[in-house]
Amino acid sequence: MTSLKNTTVFLFFAVLFLLSFKTGDLERVTAFNTHEENTSKVYALKIPTSIHFSGEEVPIDQPDIRERLDKEMLVNTYWQSNMMLLIKRANKYFPTIEKILEEEGVPDDFKYLAVIESALENVRSPKGAKGFWQLMPGTAKEYGLEVNDNVDERYHLEKSTRIACVYLKKAKERLGSWTLAAASYNRGMYGTDRLLDKQLAESYYDLLLNSETSRYVFRIIAVKEIMSNPQQYGFIFEESDLYLPIPERKIGLDTAITNLAQFAKEQNINYKVLKIHNPWLIENHLNNKSRKYYEIAIPEEGYY
């Protein structure tokens, strides 16, 4: 009798325990292939059975390709603080980048190239590349950006994105695929072409490459996979946690500005905020002897 009573009590609490979970919690399957929530453990990732970049299939059935992708997936998944920052920044900057990629006829996947190049910050590399797209000064000037001590349009998100698009379309036309175009962004268009000829290869995945270019496209693909499915890879957040784009109005002018701090004050903002929204303005003044037309971005009121 006591045994029966104990069994009944056990079953009662077992049912209550199961009912306390939502169905989705019980059925949740992640890339870690586990239902456990112990974050102190390190799990191998379940690599997707099929994955594409810009509509082009990644041959993950090949052992070296699978291992190279797995490496970048692990590195980016378990560098949690960096990936969470990328997810937050993407919400702020992707709308601008996505719009330009679509207008220029470049696949949406290339926004992840900007992610691995700069982590969506206006950084400067030791070699002198700058901006979200890490353009070298010679390349930027060749494609029409202004680069000097007073103005550096590599820091202009809209203009630099369009220049990156021009390059990528030219590389795609020359090399034959978007994957090779992406690789050439690291290796160089002509360097990639020479490697294809030398090795009698037609695909990025068939090339023997240096360490950096060998990882390059896989870094893009891994970041795309994780950022497209963040919860599956353990990144939990709410919409309110993400960074937001700040609405701007543009002031057009074709004259010089002798004092940007004073100009900012006249727009009811300070010098710091002016530079945040116009990082391409390098000095505290704008030279404009040629009477070039510029647009200065001013944040809408109420955001600072």
Q: pLDDT tens, position by position, for the chain (304 residues)?
A: 444 444 444 444 444 444 444 434 434 457 766 555 666 789 999 999 999 999 999 999 999 999 999 999 999 999 999 999 999 999 999 999 999 999 999 999 999 999 999 999 999 999 999 999 999 999 999 999 999 999 999 999 999 999 999 999 999 999 999 999 999 999 999 999 999 999 999 999 999 999 999 999 999 999 999 999 999 999 999 999 999 999 999 999 999 999 999 999 999 999 999 999 999 999 999 999 999 999 999 999 999 9
The number of CA neighbours under 13 Å toward the Cβ of 120 is 22
Q: What is the pTM of this model?
A: 0.88
Q: Is 280 helix (H, G, I), strand (E, B) or coil?
A: coil
CATH topology of domain 52-241: Lysozyme (1.10.530)
Query: Which bin fits 176, alpha (ψ -120 to 50), beta or left (φ > 0)?
Result: left
* Chain mean position to CA 136: 19
Residues 6+ away with beta carbon under 8 Å from 211: none
Residue that has been written with the tokens 């349009």 in this structure: 153
Q: How far apart are CA 81 and CA 96, in angstroms?
A: 24
pLDDT at 60: 96
* Chain mean position to CA 263: 33
CB count within 10 Å of CB 180 equals 26
pLDDT at 94: 98
Residues 6+ away with beta carbon under 8 Å from 142: none
- 210: which 2 tokens? 């240096």
Q: Is 153 helix (H, G, I), strand (E, B) or coil?
A: helix
Cα distances from 4 to residues 10, 68, 135, in angstroms, run 10, 57, 75
β-bridge partners, 248: 299
Q: Is 168 helix (H, G, I), strand (E, B) or coil?
A: helix
Residues 6+ away with beta carbon under 8 Å from 150: 282, 283, 285, 286, 287
- 94: which 2 tokens? 């992707």
- Among 141, 136, 112, residue whose Cα is nearest residue 124: 136
pLDDT at 39: 61
Q: Is 222 helix (H, G, I), strand (E, B) or coil?
A: helix
- Contact criterion met (CB below 8 Å) for 160 and 145: yes
pLDDT at 18: 40
